[in-house]
Amino acid sequence: MISLLRAWRIWLSLGAGLALALAFPSYNLPIFGWVSVAGLLFASLGAGVAEAVLCGFLYGAVFYTFSLPWVYTVMRQYGPLPVWEAAGVLGLLVVAAALFCAAFSALVAWIGSRGAGLALFAAPFLWVALEFLRGNLPTIGFPWNLLGYTASGNLALVQLTAVTGIYGLSLVVAAYNALLVWAAQSATRGIRNRAAALWAGCTILLAAVAAFGGRFVPTAQPTSVAHLVQTDLPQSLEPPPNWDAIHAGDMAELDRISIAAGQARPGLVVWPEVPAPFSLEHAAFAQRAERIAHESQSDFLLGVIDWKPSADNGLTPYNSAALLDPAGREEFLYDKMHLVPFSEFIPGRRYLWFARDLTALVGDFGHGTRYAVGNLPGGRFSVFICYEAVFPNAARQFTRNGAALLINISNDGWFGRSAAPAQHLAMARVRAVENRRWLLRDTNNGFTASIDPHGRIVASLPPDVRGELDAPYGFREDLTLSTRWGDWPAGLAIIVSVLLLAVASFLPRGKRPGEGKKKG
């Protein structure tokens, strides 16, 4: 029978995991990010390692289940997978991600058996180290909804990412959670003054920065305007052969919107990540794209499927972005590098029986190999496509390669009106701040926006409408510390975690509550 103590730890872990999910869109209660990890720390300290593994796993399972339910929706509607197989894909993702929370809880419990203070000091570094590992696993890294994003919605706090990147903000939030536990534990032992004063001081400082710091964030001045076209085309599992005929009216309207916007103010017209069977290898579509560029008197950036020869003498599709100059000539092409697991390719296809029918959604796209930089009047730019917005290093590499403007094209129509588009926008917004670049974000059905180098959304379109956004932007050449040094807080967290684990291994193990008592 589960003891009362163990039941208390389990319920606390479940509640804390739910609290972290509530900190993200679409629940939008970021305050819970500042206390959720504290709940898991309370559950882990004093527990055995096996019990801590269970607590951490349950914490992660609840968090990812409630923050990523859209994965099931995508698999169910667009796989199309049967109910149990769609649930299997979501379950695999939840289990894999929850293992990192289980590892965190286990390590905290193990260090805590040598000293609770040492465990709480180590906790923020362990959390960030494991977040970094989760986000950077080869091929299947998944840096979605990192802890730092719970604080990134605040204009003042998000400025820290220009120095530390998102992992530095995760470290701050995790450290506050650990400090909260230390203050609470000290209070129960009657040691109120130092711990409570430090916690209260940090709370007041963070609250003051969050409430008033935004007033001191500079306002960026744009120099140009781009025309972001939100195409609002319906999603289809497999476009029918007569797609062009069926959507002739839609395409005519998009032509008119794009050309009129460019003629009113020539510059840059942008279409989103490919929302339909668009390829410049198809003569009819190539002629349409060339006409839009020519008649709008503008550069035309759009998402396309680019076909390249493969090793087996066939053709491999690439999810790409192409730029046509005002004369209709292709001047730039970028092939997406970070493909979406279970959407653009299936990792370990032969071993995943529940994904064997996942064929309509997955196109087995080829992986791009180059962080391409192109030229526009006024400066250089780079494009990252859809899911790549959640990888800090992708935007950083583009910026290091000379991009003075960042553009993110995406088709979030696959997500429907779930929390995913809002979560996606929140993460993309941080890429602008980390690199101090204007970010133009163009999507099929929302959220389309212009984001300044300090993270302000200065213009946007409502979702699920077809239209054009006059999006202010400019070019910047300076490099932030985050751009120059990369994810240095994550590297620091890994080093400190290893050192603290080594120190703990030489310390004597204390007794857990209840050990050493006679059984009666």
pLDDT in tens, the chain (520 residues): 456 667 899 999 999 999 999 999 989 999 999 999 999 999 999 999 999 999 999 999 999 999 999 888 877 776 667 788 888 888 989 999 999 999 999 999 999 999 999 999 999 999 999 999 999 988 778 999 999 999 999 999 999 999 999 999 999 999 999 999 999 988 766 555 677 788 888 999 999 999 999 999 999 999 999 999 999 998 776 778 888 889 999 999 999 999 999 999 999 999 999 888 899 999 999 999 999 999 999 999 999 999 998 888 888 999 999 999 999 999 999 999 988 876 777 766 666 555 555 544 555 788 899 999 999 999 999 999 999 999 999 999 999 999 999 999 999 877 777 889 999 999 999 999 999 999 999 999 989 999 999 999 999 999 999 999 999 999 999 999 999 999 999 999 999 999 999 999 999 987 655 555 544 4
Write down the catalytic residue from 51, 131, 273, 434: 273
Structural contact between residues 149 and 511, judged by C-beta atoms closer than 8 angstroms: no
What pTM did the predictor assign?
0.92
Candidate list 386, 388, 434, 468, residue with the active-site label: 386
Residue with tokens 């994550």: 490
CA–CA dist 23, 148 (Å, integer): 11
In terms of residues, how long is the chain? 520
Q: Is the separation of the CB atoms in 65 and 143 below 8 Å?
A: no
- The predicted pLDDT at position 519 comes to 46
Catalytic residue among 336, 344, 434, 468: 336
Cis peptide leading into 513, omega within 30 of 0? no
- Structure token digits, residue 327: 């004369």
Q: How far is Cα 324 from Cα 326, in angstroms, rounded to an integer?
A: 7
Closest by CA position to 335, among listed 350, 351, 322:
322
Please answer whether residues 443 and 396 qualify as being in contact, where contact means their C-beta atoms are separated by less than 8 angstroms.
no
> How far apart are alpha carbons 494 and 492 in whole angstroms?
5
> Is 202 among the residues known to form the active site?
no
336 is catalytic: yes
459 sits in which H/E element: strand 457-460
How much is the pLDDT for 520? 40
Cβ neighbors of 336 (< 8 A, separation 6 or more) are 318, 319, 320, 321, 344, 365, 367, 368, 385, 386, 388
H helix and E strand count, the chain: 15, 12
Structure confidence at residue 341 (pLDDT): 74
Which amino acid type is present at position 129?
A
